[in-house]
Amino acid sequence: MYRLKRIKIARSIFSLNDIEHGILRKNKFKIGLGYVTNPFYSGFIKTLAVSKLDYRIHFALRATNLNPDPFDYFNCDEIESQLATVTTDFIKFETEFDHESKKMIVSQFLFTYLRDFGGIQSIKKMLKTIFKKDFKGYSLKFKPYNRIEKKHPIS
């Protein structure tokens, strides 16, 4: 479904993968943790690609697959607050803490796109901001995909 080219933009036909990985992820391979650029995207997709990657788009795309989205659509006037909401909701829902062994256990999804999120330190910083708590000395552990994630893959 994600590979099927069926979305027409300016006389070109794109797949959902073209849009997500080519345009929104700035020409990245679907695999490779976000570190590997795909040189095989067309010049048009490269032209349409965002100039700066915004990791929050992953949460917006993910939210539509995991649970009923709190928004019927994303509105240009409210996009910043909407992206903040889906990011916070996902992180709070998917994150567990083992305070005894000082571990933050997060979704495997964050590992899948590790570079897009800025790496381990940026993920820790995001958790600190969302939970408003200093996790100094905590390690990060990625849990395997749960049933919901396996049932509703993003791409």
Identify the CA nearest to 113 among candidates 15, 24, 7, 2: 24
Q: Is the pLDDT of residue 41 over 80?
A: yes
Q: Please, which residues bridge with residue 142 across strands?
A: 106
Residue, of 57 and 95, whose pLDDT is higher: 95
pLDDT at 79: 86
Residue listed under structure tokens 């099927």: 4
Q: What is the spatial distance between Cα 6 and Cα 77, in angstroms, rounded to a whole number? A: 28
pTM above 0.85, yes or no: no
- Tell me if 84 sits within 8 A of 56, measured CB to CB: yes
73-123 pLDDT tens trace: 778 898 899 889 989 988 998 899 999 999 999 999 899 889 999 999 999
Q: What is the spatial distance between Cα 138 and Cα 102, in angstroms, rounded to a whole number? A: 5
pLDDT at 72: 64
